[in-house]
Chain A
Amino acid sequence: MKIAVIVKRVPDTASVIKIGPDNKSVETDGLKFVLSPYDEHAVEQAVQLAEKGECEVVVVSAGGEECKETMRMALAMGADSGVLVKDDAITKATGKGVAICLAGALKDMGVDLIFAGKQAVDDDGSQVAERVAELLNISHASVINGFILGEGKVEVVREIEGGSYNMEIPLPALFTAQKGLNTPRYPKLPNIMKAKKKEIKELSLADIGVSEADITSGLEVTSMEYPRERSGGRVLEGDTPARVAELVNILKEDEKVIYTQRA
Chain B
Amino acid sequence: MSILVILEQRGELRSCALEAASAAAALGKKAGLDVNAVLVGRSLESQADKLAGFNIKKLFLYDDEKLENYSNDAYVGIVKELVGELSATVIIGSASFLGKELCASLAGRLACELAQDVIGLDWDGACVVKKPVFAGKAIQEIKLTDSLQMVSLRPNLFTVETDGDAKPEVETRSMPELSIRTVIKDIVRASEGKIDLSEARIVVSGGRGLGGPEPFAMLQELADQLGGAIGASRAAVDSGWIDHTNQVGQTGKVVTPDLYIACGISGAIQHLAGMRTSKIIVAINKDADAPIFKIADYGIVGDLFEVVPALKEELGKLAG
Of residues 221 through 242 on chain A, the ones whose CB sits less than 8 Å from some CB of chain B are 221-228, 230-236, 240-241
Interface residues in chain B, defined as those with a beta carbon under 8 Å from any beta carbon in chain A: 69-70, 72-73, 95-98, 100-101, 103-105, 107-109, 111-117, 128, 131-146, 181-190, 194-196, 198-199, 201-202, 224-227, 243-245, 247, 250-252, 258-259, 269-270, 273, 276-277, 279-282, 288, 293-302, 306-307, 310-311, 313-315, 318-320
A127 at the interface (CB under 8 A from B): yes
Query: What are 18 residue pairs bridging A and B, where the CB atoms are less than 8 Å apart in the complex?
Result: A13-B273, A15-B134, A38-B251, A122-B134, A124-B131, A127-B100, A130-B101, A160-B96, A160-B98, A163-B188, A169-B181, A219-B146, A224-B138, A226-B137, A232-B296, A243-B307, A258-B318, A261-B319
Q: Is the interface of A mostly helix, strand, loop or mixed?
A: mixed
- Known A-B contacts A221-B142, A233-B298, A247-B282; A168 and B137 likewise in contact (beta carbons under 8 Å): no
Which of A47-55, A59-67, A93-101, A105-113 interfaces with chain B? A93-101
Q: Which residues of A contact B100 (CB under 8 A)?
A: 126-127, 142
A206 at the interface (CB under 8 A from B): no
Most chain-A Cβ atoms within 10 A of its Cβ — which of B111, B131, B134, B244?
Answer: B134
Q: Is the CB of A258 within 8 A of B103?
A: no
Residue of B133, B187, B247 near A123 (CB, 8 A) is B133
The distance in angstroms between the C-alpha atoms of A133 and B108, with both chains bound, is: 8
Residue of A94, A161, A165, A234 near B187 (CB, 8 A) is A165
Give 19 new A-B contacts, CB below 8 A, not counting A162-B190, A225-B141, A235-B288. A126-B104, A129-B104, A139-B73, A139-B181, A142-B97, A160-B70, A162-B199, A218-B113, A219-B145, A227-B138, A230-B276, A231-B294, A232-B296, A234-B299, A244-B307, A251-B259, A255-B297, A258-B318, A262-B319
Number of residues on chain A facing chain B (CB within 8 A): 86
The distance in angstroms between the C-alpha atoms of A122 and B251, with both chains bound, is: 11
A11 at the interface (CB under 8 A from B): yes
Interface residues in chain A, defined as those with a beta carbon under 8 Å from any beta carbon in chain B: 11, 13-17, 19, 26, 37-38, 94-96, 99, 121-127, 129-135, 139-143, 155, 157, 159-170, 179-180, 217-228, 230-236, 240-241, 243-245, 247-248, 250-252, 255, 257-263
- Closest A residue to B273 by CB, please name it: A13
Looking at the assembled complex, report how far the CB atom of A101 sits from the nearest CB atom of chain B, in whole angstroms.
13
